[in-house]
Structure 1
């Protein structure tokens, strides 16, 4: 099973057909991954536990979802995504990370799926019939830490688990502007640097991206970037990156989405 990093989009991507990433996510089952995974592990930029990895989805009952957004019409707070939890995967994640020295991994039995997980999944797998659990990021740690954490999860690929990092390559939410304005150089340069580094296999550079000019401007907090490092690490040594989708909204938010195919 390949691993993936997707630009998950805003909440309104559920209904707004003008957001380019929407059609990419809707075509997922037919164009990207026709095979049905046994379970899905989501790593979302909207779950940050600072320095301790944490998993949810520990019950086989349908996951609760979090309406972790404000100011939207009532319609959005009526949406559901009752995918079952994936307790066997959550426990497997915990065991793999504990064994690799990332533990003790915590369990959050009360937390539902945040919108960085369930919003894209609702477009990708609308039947909500695939078990899902979620793993947090830790913004108190480094990009390299997250790559190594992902590497510890590589065995899940052979067990039919689809690993998806959900975030954005650029994510300065405070700098959003009108769509008709040119993309600022600090955003386009950072996005282009990541594309070049990934497609040319410069993963040591990717894993020390904190040194790259524009890092802090694009990520006041790196919560939306570290899911990429986990997905890349989980693809294993010699993985090949492919750009699957690329678009922008809000003048500064990149939707660059990547597939990581394991090396032979």
Structure 2
């Protein structure tokens, strides 16, 4: 990858919530993402690496795409216009191969290349709001729900040097994700969801990253907030790719459906 800009110090965890974020102006997270370049991160990265909750594999995988990424509409029962949306960002095959190399050098023995898979909605929904021109090369890295949070933190540590090459690393999930508890009203946030979300915020803002890596033992209502870990593990990759002394900042916080948190964070290296 040719270097076009200076090294980055930031990584991000974005809660993408519902796929309707792509079209629903009533969702508070939508204007946040639309203003991302103006208010949060004005730099234009060379490439983007997204760790999405919606790509689960037993071993780490990267998509190696030459040409534009396919837009994967991996959701069901939503309004028809959502299935017509496209985000044809270029693939980033050189970045994908660099990701594979770095992971293998760090001891991840089996890292797979997927030469067909495009961008799932965990990637393209937030990116189409953040970078609507779709002109920045993008590749994805999968999560492994058969592994733990420390595995994903170590994935991030192995990839930290990519920031020096102007690569923006984004974990995309949801700070809470229990679809069975969601309600139609947005009036009141469930107490258990708020308690977990507050624990996460306090832990991140005070640098207790080890507690976040061991959230199943440390966090209140951890299993209720995340019955499955796929929407949480992208956070651990983002933390690992930052720095063990990185400063966390809450850059957005909103709720829908009583239990779905859109809390999003920036992690900035301090050295």
Q: 1:129 aligns with which of 119, 135, 152?
A: 135
Task: Report what 1:45 is aligned to.
Answer: 53
Deviations 1:88-134 (A, max 9, x none): 11001100001101131011111111001001101110000000000
Q: 2:223 aligns with which of 203, 216, 222?
A: 216
Q: 2:267 aligns with which of 252, 260, 264?
A: 260
Task: Report what 1:10 is aligned to.
Answer: 18
- Aligned residue pairs total 262
Task: Report what 2:5 is aligned to.
Answer: none
Query: What SS does the corresponding residue of 2:230 show, helix, strand or coil?
Result: helix
Structure 2: gaps spanning 5 or more residues:
1-7
In 2: Cα distance, 1:172 partner to 1:72 partner: 18
Query: What SS does the corresponding residue of 1:224 show, helix, strand or coil?
Result: coil
Structure 1: gaps spanning 5 or more residues:
none
After TM superposition, give the deviation of residue 180 of structure 1 in Å.
4.0
Task: Report what 1:150 is aligned to.
Answer: 156
Query: What SS does the corresponding residue of 2:45 show, helix, strand or coil?
Result: coil
Task: Report what 1:92 is aligned to.
Answer: 98
Task: Report what 2:254 is aligned to.
Answer: 247
After TM superposition, give the deviation of residue 184 of structure 1 in Å.
1.6
Correspondence list, 1:48-87, <5 A: 48-49=56-57, 51-56=58-63, 58-87=64-93
After TM superposition, give the deviation of residue 60 of structure 1 in Å.
2.8
Asked if structure 2 preserves the Cα contact closer than 8 Å seen for 1:52 and 1:103, the reply is no
**Which ranges of 4 or more aligned residues in structure 1 deviate by more than 3 Å?**
none
Deviations 1:7-50 (A, max 9, x none): 1132211221110000010001111111110000001111111x
Could you say what the CA RMSD is over the residues aligned between the two structures, in angstroms?
1.0
Query: What SS does the corresponding residue of 1:139 show, helix, strand or coil?
Result: coil
Query: What SS does the corresponding residue of 1:153 show, helix, strand or coil?
Result: helix
In 2: Cα distance, 1:80 partner to 1:132 partner: 14
After TM superposition, give the deviation of residue 172 of structure 1 in Å.
0.3
Task: Report what 1:237 is aligned to.
Answer: 244
Q: Are 1:116 and 2:122 matched, yes or no?
A: yes
In 1: Cα distance, 2:173 partner to 2:150 partner: 17
Correspondence list, 1:16-31, <5 A: 16-31=24-39
TM-score, L = length of structure 2: 0.94
TM-score, L = length of structure 1: 0.97
After TM superposition, give the deviation of residue 181 of structure 1 in Å.
4.5
Change (3 A) 1:7 1:180: closer
Q: 1:199 aligns with which of 201, 205, 216?
A: 205
